[in-house]
């Protein structure tokens, strides 16, 4: 009997295979999670607010985030980061390439300007994917009521 109790104690005290391995570090958001986050962002925007940002999943400094645009921002350049973006709701335009006019740094990772000269204009719809190289001027315009992007910055190697 003592032997059975000792064996049972050892079995109960031993970690399971799942407990013995490290937790899965994968960041994951289901389609329902994304839709709920977009709805929460829309509901939380104040009158006159043209932009909202919300991290969705992260791995340390790497973040996949939602950008909710109701009004266009300024033309921008990220000197050291590429920008990978997917349109998940709404519609708009992308102007990229060309030359930034009146560039001025607003943060270490962001230069803004008044406009882009000589860029390429593309119409944006749900499902469109963009990879904007580091140092490339770009601008998102809004057609209709909103443009919602899921994107991340990719450091230049």
Q: Is the pLDDT of residue 18 over 80?
A: no
Q: Which pLDDT score, from 0 to 100, does residue 10 have?
A: 39
**Tokens coding 7:** 């064996």
Alpha helices in the chain (DSSP H): 2-13, 17-20, 31-44
Helix, strand or coil, per DSSP, at residue 72: coil
Q: Is the pLDDT of residue 37 over 60?
A: yes
90 within 8 A of 129, measured Cβ to Cβ: no
Which helix or strand (DSSP H or E) is residue 143 part of?
strand 138-155
For the whole model, what pTM was predicted?
0.81
Q: Which pLDDT score, from 0 to 100, does residue 60 have?
A: 81
pLDDT > 90 fraction of the chain, expressed in percent and rounded: 75
Rounded Cα–Cα distance for residues 71 and 120 (Å): 20
Q: Which pLDDT score, from 0 to 100, does residue 54 have?
A: 96
């Amino acid at each position: 009997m003592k032997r059975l109790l000792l064996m049972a104690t050892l079995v109960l005290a031993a970690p399971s295979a799942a407990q013995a391995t490290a937790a899965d570090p994968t960041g994951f958001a289901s389609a329902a999670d994304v839709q709920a986050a977009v709805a929460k962002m829309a509901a939380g925007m104040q009158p006159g607010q043209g932009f909202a940002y919300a991290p969705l999943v992260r791995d340390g400094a790497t973040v996949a985030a939602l950008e909710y645009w109701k009004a266009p921002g300024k033309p921008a350049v990220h000197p050291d980061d590429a920008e990978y973006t997917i349109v998940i709701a709404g519609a708009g335009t992308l102007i990229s390439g060309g030359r930034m006019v009146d560039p001025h740094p607003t943060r270490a990772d962001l230069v803004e300007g008044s406009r882009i000269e000589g860029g390429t204009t593309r119409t944006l719809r749900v499902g469109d994917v963009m990879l904007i190289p580091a140092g490339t001027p770009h601008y998102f315009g809004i057609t209709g009521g909103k443009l919602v992007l899921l994107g991340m910055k990719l450091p230049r190697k």
